[in-house]
Structure 1
Amino acid sequence: MLRFIFLLALCASTVTRTMGSHGDATAPERMTRNGLPGTATHMGKRGELRVAYLGGSITAAEGWRPLTTTFLRELLPDSAITEIAAGVPGTGSDLGVCRLGADVLRHRPDLLFVEFAVNDANTAPADIERTMEGIVRQTWRANPATDICFVYTVSTPGWPDVQAGNYPASVRAMETVAAHYGIPTVQLGFEVARRVADKGMLFKGTAQDGDRAFSVDGVHPTPAGHRVYADVLRRALPEFLKTTASRPPLPPSLRADNWEHAEQRVLSREMFRGEWKAVPLDDENLRGATKALLPPTWRADKAGDAIEFDFTGTHLGLLGIAAPDSGWFTVTVDGNAPVTDTFFDAYVTPTFCRARKWFYPQPLPPGKHRVRVELSDRAVDKAAIKQAAGKTLADPELYAQQRLALSALLLIDTAP
């Protein structure tokens, strides 16, 4: 049935196709589907248009996002366009659906771009469908008139598929959701592949290659790479705005276990057990974090310090800080065996810290749960974590502390 819906949408949509390596027509660059009817009503009218961008570091960068906002101002000169920047580096749609309310929906967007194809590259398709559907349903529950557009960027893992004119696995999962809800989508990577095939651009170059380099790391576009992305959107958006018919009613869920009811809940003092201290935004262990979107952060530095709380739901997560001082923490749910983990990873340096999500490894039975999160007395072997990734711990003294910094709870309820 889902395949039929997808094929029907494919036939009914305005598409632009890319060419595979053998000249055969393959996946479309864009799918108009139901377009952007709410935004189209602003054509020739005065008023405010609030445009939100939810994604990872590619969206957080001063690249395709502000370039697209500039183009929208050209396209809709009578509208006062407000940009809502909600990109957080290194995060996927699982955190995105949890922080959607706090970072996007409270600003009442009229148009929402969603960019998670790169950071969801290693995520199971079923999980992507759950979280992306959650973003759609949560958005339209808040305001059915909000337009949504999925934007697909490209990085090294998905590059072979894009070069061949195909969608990477993460994009195929997102297309399942988009087809079900009539959401327009655009694959920005096909234009990159075309320019690389024409020898006009290098997918992964160096700083010395200048505007010929799409990226220098195979992930993050250079300014020239971002301009390519923006050029594709300049082609797509006018087509999406031709659809002025009202959006059909919200269809039944694609997946009964989607994450529509996901939230990011800030910590409160009554949760604290032991000595927790507020972390100021200029703290050295927040260097590199996206502070504009970081909830109030609290830190414990004594083993045994904990937070305790109750929640009703089926999935549990934490938003914490990956920093040189990150230690082990244990999570105990309903008195069951504790689960131990750390926010520290090989990417952490004294000048690069960031918010990281962590999810309890298995779903919970529907209903109310009691949770304890505690700083462990074990020391993280940070040198070993670095070494496993081919990196070295330059100055061990800078990593000696073993603390726990938490910013929010990630709570999801998929029960009927």
Structure 2
Amino acid sequence: MEIIRHRSRLKNTLRKLVQGGELSVGFLGGSITDARPRHNWPEAVIAWLVERYPGVSIRVENAAIGATGSELAVYRAERDILQRKCDLVFVEYAVNDYYVPRERRAQTREGLLRKLLADGTSDVVLTYTYNQDMYEDMANRKTPESISDFEQLAEHYGLGSVWMGLHAWQEVARGMMRWEEWLPDGLHPTSRGSLCYAQSVIGFLERELGAGGQTVDAACEAERITLPVPLNPGNWENGWTLDLTRIRREGPWSLRRWPHLEWIDQCLVTSAIGSRLCFSFQGRGFTLGLDFGTLSADFRYRLNGEDWRSVELDRPDWCPEEGWFLAVTVADDLPAGEHLCEIEVVHGNRERCRGSRFQLAFVGIISPGQ
């Protein structure tokens, strides 16, 4: 088992550092990468870049969100990373994708990576953290499936990777850090564990960027790349979002600028049970992006005038009243052609279904990959 794997040079990053000016660094991931705790591993990586390159303005676009995975990120990449022209992007979803069905996460992960790599202007590095269900595999010197699947993509696309969780595991084994210092709650590092994660990423960067010298050679010149044929032809590379203003409404809906969650620009909002939405689309399925919590409603839907189907959304013990940016993929295997979808708000007569709010941030359309 290896902590660091170097596969190709960080050409865009090297060019920006040598030329001076500005380097834009992006992060995608879950709560272990989220900027809001202010102690997660990106903080030490950013501090190292600032110290190492004092003549370069380091701009940070940390778009990681707790309790989210690549299923949501594939729709957010354009707004939160690509439009902000990130030169170096770290992707951390080995943990939050862990319980997602293998085929689904294969499609969303590869779709996300192909979006990030499409124009050749972003270097992408994969980073893998740890959850407790990885313990048995790692204790037996095996690579957990969620990580080995990512490594297959890393090999296919020539992406460097850092197994931060393995680095921390080995530090505990060496007596350099206590387990409770690494994972006080069993999953989320605080300052000590986050610094350990960051040290493995910094080690990766020291070798990658140290090899760049003080000049930009031909290998580091900007170039438009041609992506290899995808491993999964059903990947979500071509996923797109509907314009919320084009969704037909029945009942007391409003379209609001959204002040409650910074990753959402606008929401279609109602709290009236029985309110409906209707939209048509070309694609094989769709995902709803919701500002969700225990005060949220459930819903039902029907496609092309067929029978209604109920969707009862899980509300785990840690679920907040609202503020969880939740991706709900309703259908992903529809036949080719145009489809009509109707959605109706349902209160839900279940434990922890305490409200009737329906707060729709986007409708993502799943189109076939290339």
The TM-score normalised by the length of structure 1 is 0.80
Inter-partner Cα distance in structure 2 for 1:131 and 1:161 = 24
Match of 1:199 among 175, 180, 192: 175
Instruction: Give, in angstroms, the shift of residue 277 of structure 1.
Output: 3.1
Q: Partners in 1 of 2:310 and 2:156 — Cα distance?
A: 38
Match of 2:120 in 1: 144
In the TM superposition, 1:165-176 aligns within 5 A as 165-176=141-152
Equivalent residue, structure 2, for 1:116: 93
| Residue 72 of structure 1, aligned match among 49, 54, 70 | 49
The two structures, once aligned, show a CA RMSD in angstroms of: 2.3
Residue 249 of structure 1: CA displacement? 3.8
Is the counterpart of residue 237 in structure 1 residue 205 in structure 2? yes
**SS of 1:44 mapped into structure 2:** helix
Q: Which residue of 1 aligns with 2:298?
A: 328
1:379 aligns with 2:353: no
State whether residues 294 and 321 of structure 2, in contact with CA within 8 Å, keep that contact through their aligned partners in structure 1: no
What is the CA–CA distance in structure 1 between the aligned matches of 2:340 and 2:308, rounded to whole Å? 13
Name the aligned partner's letter for residue 162 of structure 1: M
Distance in structure 1 (CA, Å) of the matches to 2:309 and 2:110: 29
Are residues 1:358 and 2:332 paired? no
Partners of 1:367 and 1:69 in 2: how far apart? 46
Q: Taking structure 1 as reference, are residues 322 and 65 closer, same or farther at Cα in structure 2, changes over 3 Å only?
A: same
> Equivalent residue for 1:414?
368
Q: Letter of the aligned partner of 1:30 in structure 2?
A: I
Contact 1:330 1:341 in 2 (8 A): yes
The separation in 1 between residues aligned to 2:309 and 2:203, in whole angstroms, is: 49
SS at match of 2:193: helix
The aligned counterpart of 2:273 is 303
The alignment partner of 2:127 has SS state of strand
The answer (yes or no) to whether the contact 1:322–1:345 under 8 Å persists in 2 is no
Q: How big is the shift at 1:95?
A: 1.1
Deviation at 1:240, TM superposition (A): 2.4
Residue pair 1:333, 1:370 contacting (<8 A) in 2 also: yes
**Which runs of 5 or more structure 2 residues have no equivalent in the other structure?**
none
Residue 46 of structure 1 pairs with residue 14 of structure 2: no
Identity %: 27
- The answer to whether the 8 Å contact 1:313/1:415 transfers is no
- Matches for 1:123-272 after TM superposition, within 5 Å: 123-141=100-118, 143-203=119-179, 205=180, 213-241=181-209, 242=211, 245-246=219-220, 249-265=226-242, 267-268=244-245, 270-272=247-249
Distance 1:343 1:405 in 2: 14
> In the aligned structure 2, how far is the partner of 1:403 from the partner of 1:90?
20
Deviation beyond 4 Å, 4+ runs, structure 1: 278-282, 348-352
What is the aligned length? Answer: 358
Q: Which residue of 308, 313, 316 maps to 1:338?
A: 308
Residues 125 and 161, structure 2, Cα contact 8 Å, conserved in 1: yes
| Cα distance change of structure 1 residues 120 and 400 upon mapping to structure 2, 3 Å threshold | closer
145 and 335 in structure 1: CA distance in 2 versus 1, 3 angstrom threshold: same
Q: TM-score by structure 2 length?
A: 0.89
Alignment partner, residue 105 of structure 1: 82
Relative CO higher for 1 or 2, CA cutoff 8 Å, sep ≥ 6? 2
